[in-house]
Amino acid sequence: MFKSFSGGPIGVRAGFEEAVQLAAHYGFEGVSTDVGYLMEHGPETVVQMLEERDLKPGGWGPPMRLMAPEEEFREKLKDLPKIADLCSRIGDRRCATWLPPASDEMPFDEMFAFVRDRLAAIGEIFNDYDVRFGLEFIGPATSRASKKHDFVHTMDGMLELCKAAGTGNIGLLLDCWHLYTSGGQVDDVLDLTDHDVVTVHINDAPKGVALDEHKDNVRGLPGETGVIGVPRFLQRLKEIGYTGPVIVEPFSDRVRQMPTDEAVRVTKEAMDSVWPE
């Protein structure tokens, strides 16, 4: 596994060229791929930028929302082969997104079938380019409270959905925050394999908040509070041989208000503080 930089989760608004420079300057090993920049400038340019700074590509997001209206989803699906091909050519074969944990429109079984079929369509395309697709489950009970129907919101539930898609290349975007707030344990990682985990997010939870009262956008830098055992979480990933990117996603107002360089610096320092030696 490797330390990868992504500006969005820490409130850093940086184009791809600046993100690459920041990642290299502060000692990250990878940087998230900007698909728009890749399509405009081509894979040769991106590969050269990364190789010159000894950086790895750190994953990318799909062009469509999984729950988009049918016409919008099918239209975006047409772009997917070209994007997957370009990303594969720079060696970035990890795509990931999140999945809503509840719905007002569809009961569980209906939504399961709906998402399964869309995942299968994406997975079939990705198999042509050796790309894997990671799905993030959303753990906090507060994220489901206002909806009529609960949906997948645990690690085991998401693994079942990934398997049901039937393409063999769909796994987890595993976020320690969502593992914790869903009632999971850090040692649950030992039930996984490297193939199960496409990408990883790390962060921490505020102190003094009951498990079912956490709010998704109130988090901290990894190791900031110690509520989530991030060092143990990463150690368990190391033990199962996880080979992909690890990204800090704190959604912290404190970090968002910092100047760019300070935000990147404290993010890297937080990551270093919990990283297994």
**Domain CATH code at residue 65:** 3.20.20.150
What is the reported pTM?
A: 0.97
CA distance from start to end of the chain: 12
Q: In the predicted model, is pLDDT for residue 277 greater than 90?
A: no
Q: In the predicted model, is pLDDT for residue 139 greater than 90?
A: yes
Class of residue 11 by CB neighbours under 10 A (exposed 0-12, middle 13-18, buried 19+): middle
Domain of residue 80, residue span:
2-274
Q: In the predicted model, is pLDDT for residue 257 greater than 90?
A: yes
Q: Which two tokens stand for residue 99?
A: 């999945």
Nearest to 209 by CA among 187, 227, 186, 183: 227
Q: What is the mean pLDDT of the chain?
A: 97
- Distance between CA 55 and CA 210 in Å, rounded? 39
Mean pLDDT calculated for residue range 155-165: 98
pLDDT, tens digit, 9 for 90 and up, residues 185-207: 999 999 999 999 999 999 999 99
pLDDT at residue 170, as a whole number: 98
pLDDT, tens digit, 9 for 90 and up, residues 68-123: 999 999 999 999 999 999 999 999 999 999 999 999 999 999 999 999 999 999 99
pLDDT at residue 103, as a whole number: 97
Could you give the number of structural domains in the chain? 1
Q: Are 214 and 265 in contact (CB under 8 A)?
A: no
Mean pLDDT calculated for residue range 141-166: 98
pLDDT, tens digit, 9 for 90 and up, residues 12-23: 999 999 999 999
Question: What's the DSSP call for residue 114?
Answer: H
